[in-house]
Amino acid sequence: MIKVSIMIPSYNHENFIEDAILSAINQTYENLEVVVCDDASEDNTWSKISSVKCSRLKKYRNNENIGRVANYRKLLYELSSGDYSINLDGDDYFLDMHYIEKAVSLIEKNKLDLAFSNQIIGFKNTPRKTNMYLPQIIDGNWLFLNFGKRGIHIPHSTAIYKRDKAIKLNFYRANISSSDWESLLRYILSSKVGFIEQPSVYWRQVRNSESKNKNLDEYLNNIDFLIESVLPYAENFFDKNTLTNWKNSFIYGRLISIPQNSLGKNLKMLIAYSCQSLDTLHCLRFFLNLKIWAKTILGRLNINVWNSRFY
């Protein structure tokens, strides 16, 4: 029977960590360990962790703060022992108590390298419109080439993957906000992947989360690092033209997902970056999206957009 490790990294999650732990230890799958590592929180997170008693639960605390990605690595490489692993951030929680059981069943039945599901995001309490119409079994190379298109992606907290393969691929090697995507993009190449449509995880977008706090410069640097890190590995699986098209499509998808409030004083930076990083077609498409964003923002300010200098 496959052993699964649910890894829960935490830092200053005193208001959320109990939800995460309880949703993990209450999973119906039997051969399971839940491993929590607190990254020297400055609030009452460790006290909340210590109060939870369960034979499935292993609790650790770093003597000093080592950072989010380093804590991911410590959990995967040193503290967990499962055949498969899944990372549930300390401010998120499982919605489906049967998720691990369903994922393992799908993995075993189809000999999969990885399984994932949809998630519910933030405070909206409704499934995000991503991963629409995906089949249950997916070729990893196809998923790589379409990652980021039409909302297709792998929510990190839903991805259950082979621990030994992840370690061999040097998972969480990049100290960037998208370290999860950098790792998963390399992992799915030449892999067989399973998808469960029902959302399994609630992903909180809290104010102090790293994914919410990036400024635009950090966001663009994150894109650059991710591309430069993944491309050399992907060259083993695709020709140059295919990867050039993938790069343009991926960067374009990341740029149009930038929140509208990142415009304004950052408009010159966005234009310069798009001209430098995209081919002509994707650059033109991006400028059209800038027009849509500008119209939306000006409309909210009750400015007559049709007479604006933006048009």
Q: What is the pLDDT along the chain (311 residues), one digit of tens a residue?
A: 999 999 999 999 999 999 999 999 999 999 999 999 999 999 999 999 999 999 999 999 999 999 999 999 999 999 999 999 999 999 999 999 999 999 999 999 999 999 999 999 875 555 565 788 899 999 999 999 999 888 899 999 999 999 999 999 999 999 998 999 999 999 999 999 999 999 999 998 765 555 544 577 888 888 899 999 999 999 999 999 999 999 998 988 888 777 655 555 566 667 777 777 888 777 777 777 665 565 555 445 444 333 333 32
Residue 227 domain boundaries: 214-307
Structure tokens at 211: 């994914």
Structural domain total, the chain? 2
Same domain, 244 and 165: no
Among 72, 80, 259, 53, smallest CA distance to 164 is for 80
Structure tokens at 227: 């591309």
Give the pLDDT of residue 143: 97
The helix/strand/coil state of 250 is helix
The helix/strand/coil state of 224 is helix
Same domain, 192 and 247: no
Same domain, 102 and 188: yes
**Rounded CA separation 259/256 (Å):** 8
The helix/strand/coil state of 115 is strand
Beta strands in the chain (DSSP E): 4-10, 32-38, 57-61, 84-87, 93-94, 114-121, 137-139, 160-162, 192-203
In the block, tokens 């991926």 appear at 250
Same domain, 188 and 225: no
Structure tokens at 246: 């993938």
Domain boundary among 195, 210, 225: 210
Give the pLDDT of residue 308: 35
Domain boundary among 163, 194, 210: 210
CATH number at residue 141: 3.90.550.10
